[in-house]
Amino acid sequence: MTIALARRYRPKRFSDLVVQDHVAAVLRGAVSRSRVGHGYLLTGPRGVGKTTAARILAMALNCARRDPSGEPCGECENCLRIWNGSANLDVIEIDAASNRGVDDARDLRERAMYAASREGHYKVYIIDEAHMLTREAWNALLKILEEPPPGVVFVFATTEPQKIATSAAPVMSRLQRFDFRRIGPGAIRDRLRQVLSAEGLAADEDALTLIARHADGGMRDALSVLDQCLSFGEGTVTAELVREVLGLADDELYDELLRLVVERQPGAVFSLVDRLCDAGVDLSEFMAGAAEMLRALLMLQLGAEPDGLTEALRGTLESYRERLAPGDALRMLRLLAEDETNIRRTVNPRLAVETMLLRWAMLDRVVDLEQVLEAGKRGSRQAGKQGASPQAPAEGSGATYAETSVTRSRPRSPEAPPSVPASPPSASPTAKLVPSIEAIRAGWPAIVVVARVQSRFLGELLAEVEPAELVLPWLNVMLREPNQLFAERLEKEAAKVEEILSRSLGQPVRLRLVSGSPSGTPEPKPRRMSDTSIKADRLREFRAKDPALDTAADALDLEIVD
């Protein structure tokens, strides 16, 4: 392999720019109508074709055999010289990352004063990493752009346009801006396939998927990884080879990761990380892959279509989509986001990754707040109705109703989202939808979770609280154990708590702390209860008290840890 693929297959025409049709169309049109501007700003992630587009523009402007549509021929001497980046009077490429300072700015200004080398030619300055230019350079450029010499075009390329907006707003306002898109995994795979077939080579589909995922939207990176793989030897490029070249973990290890989380086996974390290290896997790549995997799992669960999955990984995710609640996948992602930089920078990545995986494996599971409260509301509706009108439908219909109308919140397919009836057919229009205190108690762990999302402190505070009685708008609560400090804090945070409660219960609720020991349960247990055991106790109690809710809890698949 003499010339790098990324270079050999760099586009020569606007129409070859993958995914950037919106930019290509405008530039081509400008060339064909001779309405090319003096300054362009091309923004977007690395490797998506910004510099290439600038070169194609320069080719189109100077091509001897330009197509009437504005496309360069790509074959004439001018085109080839520009495309090859060989010494050229008409196209000047400047890497701002390495050309900074006053001298360059002055140089730039002096050089720009000369028109193109030949009549009818354009002089094109391509300035890469433009956000690195100094203030002096921008000032010089501003002067040029205020009175641009004929036939001179500036093309600025940057990954960080916001920096230019801050440091050189007056220049920016004189530029036509084009935002380049990230290239999706599908488009990258297609392009890799084209290149391979042009080279008479082959690759597994999974191999291309892995390369595309790693390239993260950049075509140049994708082609250079393919280059590296090809340099390893003859024959088909396999997924295994790509993993070896990139230090990626086998999909099997992701399956193992999900299993230890779902089955709550924190002990298995250590052997998993051992295997990752033995296999020479880059741990921060592994965690990035884990984040991608959780995102793809969430997409599957919420009815979207994830791209860039190998066949094996798709199979894995399908088998876990019902076993891990979307709320838990989301919390795992949040934990990882909090710690991501640490994992990348720490001197002991192994320990950091182990710690993160342990946190995942020991995560308290979400009890879906809406499900519990919905079940609770329904339960009290049923109870109220049976008390108020004895001649209403025969006994047992309540249970049937609960069975048929309580739906899981996890949609099995995007076409059939769960239907939550706005007003159940059997409820009278005047019936007030007041959740029972039992339902509120049962839903309390979920309320704690919601509060914890808002602030950890608030969540911890509410975990110490036990709902005692609901006399609207007042919700009387007690502390699980008398604690003056908590009582004061609760008073202070009452407004926030009331907001969460009102939103959760669907009506204005005020909070009142009453003294005494929690009622309802026989004897408050002396041991300090964990979140999970509280959850389980509440749920058990709640189920025992109301058979209709018991059925609902079954239908909802609420977890009781025995």
Side chain identity at 486, as an amino acid letter?
A: F
Cα 408 to Cα 555: distance, rounded to the nearest angstrom: 8
What own/partner pairs with CB < 8 Å and gap ≥ 24 does 519-523 have?
519/468, 520/441
Minimum distance, C-beta of residue 83 to Zn ion, in the bound complex (Å)? 9
Tell me whether residue 28 or residue 191 sits nearer to Zn ion (CB atom). 28
Tell me whether residue 13 or residue 365 sits nearer to Zn ion (CB atom). 13
Q: List the one residue from 31, 57, 60, 63 that touches Zn ion (CB under 5 A).
A: 63
Burial 65-83 (b: 16+ CB within 10 A, else e): ebbeebbbbbebebbebbb
CB half-sphere exposure, 74, CA atoms < 13 A: 13
Cα 442 to Cα 279: distance, rounded to the nearest angstrom: 46
Which residue reads 């939207």 in tokens? 217
Cα 102 to Cα 502: distance, rounded to the nearest angstrom: 62
Minimum distance, C-beta of residue 70 to Zn ion, in the bound complex (Å)? 12
Tell me whether residue 72 or residue 327 sits nearer to Zn ion (CB atom). 72
Evaluate whether 373 touches 439 at the Cβ level (below 8 Å): yes
Asked whether position 212 contacts Zn ion by CB under 5 A, the answer is: no
Tell me whether residue 58 or residue 127 sits nearer to Zn ion (CB atom). 58
Minimum distance, C-beta of residue 85 to Zn ion, in the bound complex (Å)? 15
Minimum distance, C-beta of residue 81 to Zn ion, in the bound complex (Å)? 10
Asked whether position 73 contacts Zn ion by CB under 5 A, the answer is: yes
- Window contacting Zn ion (CB under 5 A); options: 13-21, 76-84, 220-228, 337-345: 76-84
Tell me whether residue 72 or residue 326 sits nearer to Zn ion (CB atom). 72
Element (H, E) at 364: none
Which residues, 6 or more positions from 221, have their beta carbon under 8 angstroms from its beta carbon? 46, 47, 214, 215
- The 484-523 contact track toward Zn ion, x by CB under 5 A, reads ----------------------------------------
Minimum distance, C-beta of residue 57 to Zn ion, in the bound complex (Å)? 13
Tell me whether residue 56 or residue 553 sits nearer to Zn ion (CB atom). 56
128 strand-pairing partners: 95
Asked whether position 76 contacts Zn ion by CB under 5 A, the answer is: yes
Tell me whether residue 63 or residue 317 sits nearer to Zn ion (CB atom). 63
Which residues, 6 or more positions from 481, have their beta carbon under 8 angstroms from its beta carbon? 464, 528
Using CB under 5 A as the binding rule, the residues of this chain from 309 to 368 that contact Zn ion are none
Q: List the one residue from 6, 18, 19, 79 that touches Zn ion (CB under 5 A).
A: 79
Minimum distance, C-beta of residue 24 to Zn ion, in the bound complex (Å)? 17
Cα 283 to Cα 198: distance, rounded to the nearest angstrom: 35
Minimum distance, C-beta of residue 50 to Zn ion, in the bound complex (Å)? 21
CB atoms within 10 A of CB 307: 15
Residues in contact with Zn ion by the rule CB under 5 A: 63, 72-73, 76, 79
